[in-house]
Amino acid sequence: MEPTLAVIGLNFRTSPVAIRERFWISEAQRSHALYHLVRSEGIDEVIVLATCHRTEFILWTSDVPTAADSVLRFLAQEYELRLCEWTHFYRLMDDTALAHIFRVASSLDSMVLGEPEILTHLSEAWTQAKEAGCTGRFLDAIVQKALSVSRRIHSELPIGDGSVLPYAAVELAMQELGQLSGRKVLLIGAGHMGELAARGLMSAGVKDVYITSRTSASAEELAAKLKVHHVPFEQCRRYQETADIVVSSTSSPHSIISREQAEAVARAREHRPLVLIDIAVPRDIDPAVREIEGIVLFDIDDLEQAVRGGSGERQAALAAAEKIIASEVSGFRRRLATEQAVPALALLRHHLDDLCHEELELLRKDFGPFTADQDQAMTVLAAHITQRLAGSLARELRDLPGNGGQAALSAALQRLLGLDELPAVASEVKN
């Protein structure tokens, strides 16, 4: 079986947040996953990409079924994957996988068109895999190309700025509370999404915003940037009791607001309406909180539903981007084929050089001795013939439409040159 690209993963399209958070892999855990998977059967190179919207294993593999089994076993051992949950995972290969990576990098496969953070996530995942020795020239080349395609799409098309998700949180809050002017907001977490949420709420009229985080310095910095209040994380519970809206967006691997804690807050508020908005994966707030009187909980699935669909401008941009991706996949596939052909062409060139050397020795033995000029002329002629043949084969390689033609060429060369074994002349990423 010939080496190829494969992507195995799940995302917001294939699974609810309850499934995604089970298979979310933290940065520390990704190091373990990379170490384990690159040593597993069928996997030559690997990158692990994990965000709140997706967990994906990007693989370069000589055996896709075996590589998929290795990923399945890893998830079963480390995350207690059940076979019935395997249906949430997609398995893409060849051109389909390549186009998927280009879409992901360009934020076209994001829940919000133009989401800016996915490019950072992909770059960081690639860097982590490279530093762990888990990538080589194929995945390195693929990710570099994906980043280039992303830059082209964002420079040529009106792709969104990715701020729709936090602003959807504002809309959901307004559905429950009406106008937000005069409302009090507690923001838990000081990351990028939290900042966008705070800005959205403030643009909707909120003046009283309090920011807290386990990392006090980051919360203080964001509060100063937005000119709002910072509160110590230890006082988080007290501010929940007085807030109208709580937005939680931390990187905690566990819930930070349990049902019991929320019940205590509700009692202290005498069950006055409180809107909780959880935009974290894994979720910050126990889903059972929905059952508490006076509390309305929205999680990432609710926000995704709020922004699903899109305008005509969005659909036009998507259609134009897909055309760019199709063109880039076709061009890069030929480059990848040539990259894979290098070992075979090198062997072929070496074999041709040997044949020419043998024929020159026979000429010298049967018709020599030659003058220095004559000998040099024959040597240059032999090298020129070898170069012409190898160049013609390389051009033919680039022009072949698919794997079948390349396999036929490989077999023909093997017979023609009397080689016992010739590596695959090329292994294109095919559809």
| Alpha-carbon gap, residue 14 to 119, rounded angstroms | 21
Listed as own residue / partner, the contacts of 226-234 with beta carbons closer than 8 Å and 24 or more positions apart are 226/195, 226/198, 226/199, 226/202, 228/198, 228/202, 231/186
Which two tokens mark 276? 């909780």
Which two tokens mark 9? 């993963």
| Alpha-carbon gap, residue 6 to 22, rounded angstroms | 22
List phi, psi (to 5°) of 327: -65, -45
Whether the CB-CB separation of 232 and 198 falls below 8 Å is answered with: no
| Alpha-carbon gap, residue 328 to 369, rounded angstroms | 56
Asked about 52 being catalytic, the answer comes back as yes
* DSSP type of residue 270: T
Does an H or E element contain 295, and which?
strand 295-298
Does an H or E element contain 203, and which?
helix 192-203
| From 52, 134, 236, 356, the catalytic residue | 52
Cα within 13 Å of Cα(368), Cβ side: 15
What is the b/e burial string over 5-32, where b = at least 16 CB atoms within 10 angstroms of the residue's CB? bbbbbbbbeebebeebbbbbbeeeebbe
| Alpha-carbon gap, residue 24 to 372, rounded angstroms | 71
Catalytic residue ranges = 52
